[in-house]
Amino acid sequence: MKKLVVSILVLSLVITGCINKKEVKETKKEEVNSNSNSVVIYFSATGTTEKIAKRIAKQANSDIIEIVPKDKYEDKDLDYNNDCRANKEQNDPKARPKIKNKIDISKYDVIYLGYPIWWGTNPKIILTLLDSYDFTDKVIFPFCTSGSSDISGSVSDLRKYNSKLTIKDGKRFASNSSEHEIIDFVDRSNIEMNSLNKETSKMKVMIDNKEYTINLEDSAAAKKLVELAPFETKMEELNGNEKYVYLSSSFPVDSYNPGHIEQGDVMLFDNSCLVIFYKSFDTPYSYTKIGHIDNLPNLGDKSVKVKFEE
């Protein structure tokens, strides 16, 4: 079975021609523009991710910092058909390959985090990075290159690894990705940051007599909720991750598929179903975002009494 998986992987890499051993780079560069609040931080063993990283940094007008491994990955270390170092690290839950350079993330709000896909996920050195610095107040937009695998496996692994981090869905790039794809990725991240920054007004909410604050979006749906308050309602349990109620009023809808729900997200499903999520998970459904409750605990498996206050 392992041999079959290896053969499929090799075939997909041969077809897409993404492994080019000649691309192994010799020089390591770091470019820091003092005014930027975004940075591209990337790991690249054979140069493919590096090329995309530089294009993203140029488009976003960001600084760019390479994650330089203390022990450089030579060709033999990446020979995934054999029992190479990269394979051993990927199979070892405790592997945290050392990083040679110091990476100062203190002045950045937005981190574009790039890496190649190794065995369906991020290389372990990305976990070393997350362990080494405090990313809690940052918004991370991941990107990857690969023979064919997409980025979603690594994104859900990273979210599971540290659920306190804000990790957006990210994007996989082929080595020959168009300029349009780069522009689209950066534009979308800017739109997401704008909507995060607009979370300014607040609403008090009592859930089973405990007080929380909803940080409201600057949206018509959030304004509608403020208009309706104060009101009290029972919210039913669903799927071990949400409490919901169908309200008699219909809300203005601006729905999209967020890809990922964060614990504490307050969303509108359809045009009248108000939902409070108390667990993070990936979703295929579309919602209109109303706001977010910080530090919302697991609300348990029963219905709850909820009072939205003015």
State the residues that interact with ligand FMN by CB under 6 A: 9, 12-13, 18-19, 44-50, 78, 80, 86-87, 116-120, 145-149
Nearest to 120 by CA among 83, 159, 93, 147: 147
Minimum CB separation from ligand FMN for residue 271, in Å? 40
Nearest to 27 by CA among 5, 57, 50: 50
Minimum CB separation from ligand FMN for residue 289, in Å? 32
Question: Are 252 and 262 in contact, with CB atoms under 8 Å apart?
Answer: no
Distances in whole angstroms, Cα of residue 78 to Cα of each of 24, 48, 86, 87, 88:
11, 14, 6, 8, 10
Minimum CB separation from ligand FMN for residue 204, in Å? 47
CB neighbourhood size of 173 (10 A): 23
80 vs 133, beta carbon nearer ligand FMN: 80
7 vs 37, beta carbon nearer ligand FMN: 7
129 vs 296, beta carbon nearer ligand FMN: 129
Give the Cα separation of 222 and 289 in Å (integer).
8
115 vs 212, beta carbon nearer ligand FMN: 115
Q: Which pairing describes strands 139-145 and 166-167: parallel, antiparallel, or unpaired? A: parallel
23 vs 237, beta carbon nearer ligand FMN: 23
Give the Cα separation of 203 and 23 in Å (integer).
54
Minimum CB separation from ligand FMN for residue 257, in Å? 24
How does DSSP classify residue 192? H
Minimum CB separation from ligand FMN for residue 28, in Å? 13
Minimum CB separation from ligand FMN for residue 171, in Å? 13
Minimum CB separation from ligand FMN for residue 59, in Å? 18
8 vs 220, beta carbon nearer ligand FMN: 8
SS3 141: strand
Q: Which two tokens stand for residue 279?
A: 């667990």
120 vs 206, beta carbon nearer ligand FMN: 120
First vs last C-alpha separation in the chain: 60
For 218-236, give the DSSP string. Answer: SSHHHHHHHHH-SEEEEEE
